[in-house]
Structure 1
Amino acid sequence: MDAIFFNLASRYFWIVCLVVNLINAVIFKVRSQSHIRQDPSLASGYTTLIQGFLICSSLPWLAMGFGIMVGNVPTIWYFLYPGTGNPYVVAWWVVYWLTISFVSQWIVLRGGAEMMVKYPGFLRGNSKNPRTIKLTWLLMLAGTAAFTIIMFNQAPPAEPSYFNPS
């Protein structure tokens, strides 16, 4: 039973992530309602934030699902080894970094941090300082870049059991 669950989770984890994104969007919507009741002019901004969140957070998981379902990538574990050159795995990393680049530009250069301050409840902690949001994002970005460098420079293991589910 454990092997069946592990194999299913290894193949369909991307669907779980999409469901979590939808749940988070609903949570953001619920959190926004009290603020919208106080100031109805905030409604369109919250809608923009929630739609942007859904699109940006779902693109990498949709790309992963496409690679698994159409591109014959057997499991999610293959995405941890982009150095293998699998075109669907590399495409996932490209989508991932294009999404991160877009979000980074929005947060740091296009008023995204300021928008998140203006619309409380979207972020946990409700930061009142755009500089704090930008700094936090840049620190997370540095960690993500370091992780990516490691991923691209490691050799995949010699076909471990999770690489080829039975």
Structure 2
Amino acid sequence: MHQIFFIILVAAILLSIFLSIIAYLIINDGKKSEKTKIKNDNSNKKTKIFNTDLDKMITTAKDTSLTDQELKNLAQLFISTHKLGSKQSKELDETTKKKLEFITALSSNDNASPQTISFLNKELKKISASYKKEIDAYEQMGLAKRKIKEDKTTSS
């Protein structure tokens, strides 16, 4: 009789501990910091807005409705998903040219800050050092396109 009482008592204690842990986890989950919530919102936003298809990324980089922060997120996604690799010859293959077009598209966007453009340039040079000249050249093409657009709007 004492053994059954003891087993029931131990089971009740274990059950109460288990329920206390669950209650603690539920209560503390609702108290996430605002920074965590904002960070999660931003990461969800990044995955909702941006596609990793290169053509779509180039089109998105040209979109002047995006903010500088959204363009920086797009640049980070590009860096993590599209590697230039190592230069095999002096001639650029079509795939590499297409990837470099992204730099021109982002650099020509009026909403891209100099910091965002510089970030893209520096990060790409870190991972694809053999393409330093090309990265700079395509960035300069984008900045020239941007300047031409600015000149057209100020002269009109």
TM superposition score normalised by structure 2: 0.30
TM superposition score normalised by structure 1: 0.29
Q: Greater RCO between the two (CA within 8 Å, min separation 6)?
A: 1
Q: Which structure: larger Rg?
A: 2
